[in-house]
Amino acid sequence: DIFDQASGPVEGIGAYIDAKMEISRRHPAGSKVWASEVMHGAPVIQDYLETTLEQWTNGRITVIQSWIDRGLMAPIDPRHLLYMVWATTQHYADFGHQIETLNNSEPLTDAQWQAATDSVKTIILKGIGAKSA
């Protein structure tokens, strides 16, 4: 897992944002199905949310809290950081039509995707005061 292998938040959260943005780029339909399922009360995946996702989330919270405790990032609520990363990265999939419309009715180019990824990482990492380990 990206978080477990990372020495600190710059590496760990940065790599996680890279991965989430790439998933949004390459598999937007999957993100839209996930969002629709959750918005409808998760009738199919509720068990997954209560088990696998909760365990994964709690594990990431532990890692993020360890970075906070080591002074590698600001003392924020790790759960809300994860929500923010999910919301921001998945926006590019779930609202791709809006983004395309606002991009002169063109899909984002490779360079624009990279710029978006870099911007998201910079905003989040600077916002949490992330330091290299």
Structural domain includes residue 12 = yes
pLDDT tens, position by position, 61-93: 999 999 999 999 999 999 999 999 999 999 999
When pLDDT is averaged across residues 39-47 and rounded to a whole number, the result is: 97
- Looking up residue 37, the CATH number of its domain turns out to be 1.10.357.10
pLDDT band at 4 (very low <50, low <70, confident <90, very high): confident
Residue-range definition of the domain harbouring residue 49: 2-127
Structural domain includes residue 133 = no
What letter represents residue 90's amino acid?
Q
The candidate with the shortest Cα–Cα distance to 87, out of 19, 5, 20, is 20
Between the CA of residue 28 and those of 15, 32, 34, 35, 70, what are the distances in Å? Answer: 19, 6, 10, 11, 36
Task: Kindly give the interhelix angle for 78-94 and 9-26, rounded to the nearest 10 degrees.
Answer: 30
Proportion of the chain above pLDDT 90, given as a percent: 96
Examine the pLDDT at 1 and tell me if it is beyond 90: no
- For the chain, how many structural domains are there in total? 1
Residues found in the chain? 133
